Structure 1
Amino acid sequence: MPLLKLEDTYLHKGKRRALVALLREKGIRNERVLQAINTLPRHFFFDSALISHAYEDKAFPIGEGQTISQPYTVAFQTELLEIKEGDRVLEIGTGSGYQGSILHLLGAEVFTIEYQRKLFEGTQRFLNRLGIKMHLFYGDGTGGLPSYAPYDKIIVTAGAPVVPEALVAQLKVGGILVIPVGDRRRQTMLRLTKKANGKVTREEFDGFAFVPLLGKDGWG
């Protein structure tokens, strides 16, 4: 996890503004999402060796075979979630904590679960230092967190072979699940919306490349 001092300079802020302008050019339209990305220093979530790359629109390794997602991917998934103030959101794949922190800035109550223990422990310490308040858990995210269900929104930040049934079951009526589904190399972003009759509508969006979702209903 990050080794740098938490300093946010004019240079960093200028790079964030440029990143936001790029995301807008690439089709992100939700101004609340763009403002959250402009507010949150992405370089805080980087090891010092990679800090110069923090505002590139690319994914970078964070250890344990995981990555911090490309900013466009974070913005795209967040936009699909249609976050409202006070939403209870379940995040599968805490990673660096960056995606969950964006959700937090949008006013969501975030429940997040991480499969890799070392990553979980490091991110937990870092978010406490940063003052970001989320409910962090260690375990198999493919089963969700039924004790805290139902959720208004669920986001999966790793590539899944299928949509885990447990996650759909933990959605509220009217709730949204955003998840990349495909093979280990390429996935299609899905948005599932749970209807009052128990049925689920499915929308398909762009192709992405995520690290594999691990766990019982993931890639093992």
Structure 2
Amino acid sequence: MDYLLQRRRMVERLLRSGMIKSKEVERAFLKVPREEFVWQSARHLAYDDTPLPLGTTGQTISAPHMIAIMLEELDLKQGSKVLEIGAGSGYNAALMAEIVRPTEGKSSDMGYVTSVERVRELIDFARDNLARTGYSDRVSVVIGDGTLGYPERSEKMLYDRIIVTAAAPHIPVCPRAQLKVNGLILIPVGNTFAQTLVKATKYEQNKMKVQEVCGCIFVPLIGEDGFRF
């Protein structure tokens, strides 16, 4: 199977539909091999525009169009420090790493992605995928309760961008505190059946401007400041 051709066709579809708007996001999608981040049994579906299950973990890798929407809204810059809550397979982290610290970029572009995951099987899967594809120097996958940020409960403003890849009942307090002034957090907010993708920009230490982006459906964010089952 010609995965490179499929990747190019996927990007062409996302460009035509207007989901990909920027050269940075386009380049990242062309660079990162999605087939290396899906479960082996779903590898032949890697470039279909649909979510794919990650084994029996109950988690998924999001559809390419939703990832494109989120990356465009996140407005990443070279050198950005990013917190991802929900590592999944590591694919989204690799895309972000390719933007904040491009493979062909200067060594001074010290962007970095920290990805928090609670499922041990996915931590190992994501780490292996990122190492194999050359992103482990720009991404750390750590175990923890992402609803408490990273480091957990820290009130230091550490991140330029925070992205949450699971649905929350509200914007968690600790990640919000860890966002730098003028930084933004992107998060699906709602119930466990349907949500709204929300972009919140911190313009003062304790104040945020909240915008609704689009409707979406994500698996629930489980944790102390998320959903509890």
Give the TM-score of the pair, scaled to structure 2: 0.88
Structure 1's unaligned 5+ residue stretches are: 1-8
Secondary structure of 2:204 counterpart = coil
Report 1:37-186 matches (<5 A). 37-63=29-55, 64-107=57-100, 108-133=111-136, 134-146=139-151, 149-186=157-194
Q: What is the identity, as a one-letter code, of the residue corresponding to 1:138?
A: I
Q: CA deviation at 1:132?
A: 1.0
Instruction: Give the distance between the partners of 1:15 and 1:35, measured in 2 at CA.
Output: 15
* 2:14 pairs with 1:14: no
Percent identity over the alignment?
Answer: 39
What amino acid is the match of 2:202? K
Structure 2 unmatched runs, 5+:
101-110
Deviation for aligned residue 1:205: 1.1
C-alpha separation in 2, matches of 1:184 and 1:198: 28
- What is the CA-CA distance between 1:52 and the residue it aligns to? 1.3
Q: TM-score, normalised by structure 1?
A: 0.91
Give how far 1:26 is off: 2.4
Distance in 2, matches of 1:59 and 1:21, equals 19
Q: Distance in 1 between matches of 2:226 and 2:17?
A: 30
Considering only aligned residues, what root-mean-square deviation do their CA atoms show, in Å?
Answer: 1.5
Q: Which amino acid aligns with 1:38?
A: L
1:4 is aligned to none
Task: Kindly tell me the number of residue pairs found equivalent between the two proteins.
Answer: 211
Mapped partners of 2:217, 2:58: distance in 1: 14
Deviation at 1:83, TM superposition (A): 0.5
1:195 is paired with a residue of what secondary structure? strand
